[in-house]
Structure 1
Amino acid sequence: MNQLKLGIPKGSLQESTIRLFRQSGWRISLSDRNYFPEINDVDIHCAICRAQEMSRYVENGTFDVGLTGKDWIMENDSDVMVITDLIYSKVSQRPARWVLAVPLDSPVRDVKDLAGKKIATELVNFTKRYFAAAGVEVNVEFSWGATEAKVISGLCDAIVEVTETGTTMRANGLRIVTELMQSNTQLIANKTAWDDPWKREKIEQIALLLQGALRADDLVCLKMNVSEANINGVIELLPSLNAPTIAHLYQSNWLSVETVVAKQVVRELIPKLIKRGAEGIIEYSLNKVI
């Protein structure tokens, strides 16, 4: 029987990944001691793997497909197929930024100022390649954690660390010298698996539905009743994917109007719709928009 081997990232991406798959139609069931979660699809076999290692296991065929950050693909220099970008933070749509940072009172102002200095980071291989490309010789050490504290306490001269806004770094007395890269979550596939027609179709199905779920997360559907006399004024306000759906109510000069809009405009839009004569406005969430 054909079966697709799917890698689920352990750690910070795990919960959002499982939630995204659930919204896409796949229920993944985890237990605390089980690294092989159940999924409601007999064609898929799941396993848990750290995001930092995922691309290596996808490359060597342990997994046919998996989810990990672009940063760890680059760190491992993995030869994999990137199927699609998946940005699924519920709080922020900003990508993660890997930055070079130093203490506020450091004399370092430029990458070249770190020649001969010590840098701590979890992203060792990428950092080495970055400084080599810049022609600056540095000593890059792997950091097991608490990386920001190491540069503050003088255990290293600079760090390469991940951030979104840089607020936490500033609060901890650090200054960003430069940004090295931006990263987001990606769905990746093993190249041999991608060449297999059955596995490729299954991977494409997963990518399509995950993207549909992500798209739906930023949208809602609005449904309302509008009289024929007020319809033009209401339609002028309504954004939509193509055009609003309009249907006559039974034996009435009123219309039912339905459209899909971005979540962030709803609070401003609904009062305007009421002023234009819309009534019985209903807002509901969407699972997928394909």
Structure 2
Amino acid sequence: MTEHDSHALRDLALRTAREAGDLILRLRDEGVVVAGTKSSEIDIVTRADQAAEALVRERLLDARPDDGMVGEEGDHLGGTSGVVWIVDPIDGTVNYLYGLPHFAVSIAAEVDGEVVAGVVVAPALALEYVATLGGGATCNGRPIQPRPTVPLGERLVGTGFSYEQPARAREATYISRLLPRVRDLRRLGSCALDLCAVASGTLDAYVEEGPHIWDHAAAGLVVLEAGGILQVARSPGDKRLLICAPEDGFAEFRAAVVDAGFVGGEGPDGPRESRE
């Protein structure tokens, strides 16, 4: 086992995500406590987010003390090994607050700028998505792949909305243009799980303005290894824009997204251009 063995990184991530998932379920049963807000008054962080990120940090860095870590709840730790862990302790915090099951722990291992292992664990749904670079993607241990591509008008598309009001106004305009061209839209509340849904065939495509690197680092590898494309572009509001679809249907879906106004003038950017 080498220092940067992707399978070892995957296994550590999965053990840690399972433990964090058990923790957040236990804390939810004890009563969700809102600890503060982030981008707006409706963009919340709970005590469980903070506790789960602390647990993840402890487990990962106890096992690999020379690694770095980037976490949604504030952990930005440098390292010397070349490995950086990208962590969202609860992707779908508002769902978690309301008792909805669509939330997940997301952990990705990045080696010298490339994600080589990723896990997305949804404890309330009993779903575990796992991928290693070049090693395929699974859900609960079984290989997954996207749904066969259908005409654009028959595609079920996932999306999400910002918690910042000016961005919401823009996004409503984009969505109003895209909705008549597809079967329907779903706003399920977790970027990571929506991407995994494309990877496993329960959504046909996904587009969202505003996710952060921790929202999609692990799930993006799941998409890639399952046979899909995740493109990171910029929106007209200069926010990160995610466009995701199976390989053979990606170009047509991206063209519809562009026509709807989602994409700004700079074209696609790499996923590491910003940690925002």
Q: Scaled by the length of structure 1, what TM-score is found? A: 0.21
More strand by share: 1
TM-score scaled by length of structure 2: 0.22
User: Which is helix-richer, 1 or 2?
Assistant: 2
Q: Identify the structure with bigger relative contact order (alpha carbons < 8 Å, sequence gap 6+).
A: 1
Larger gyration radius, structure 1 or structure 2: 1
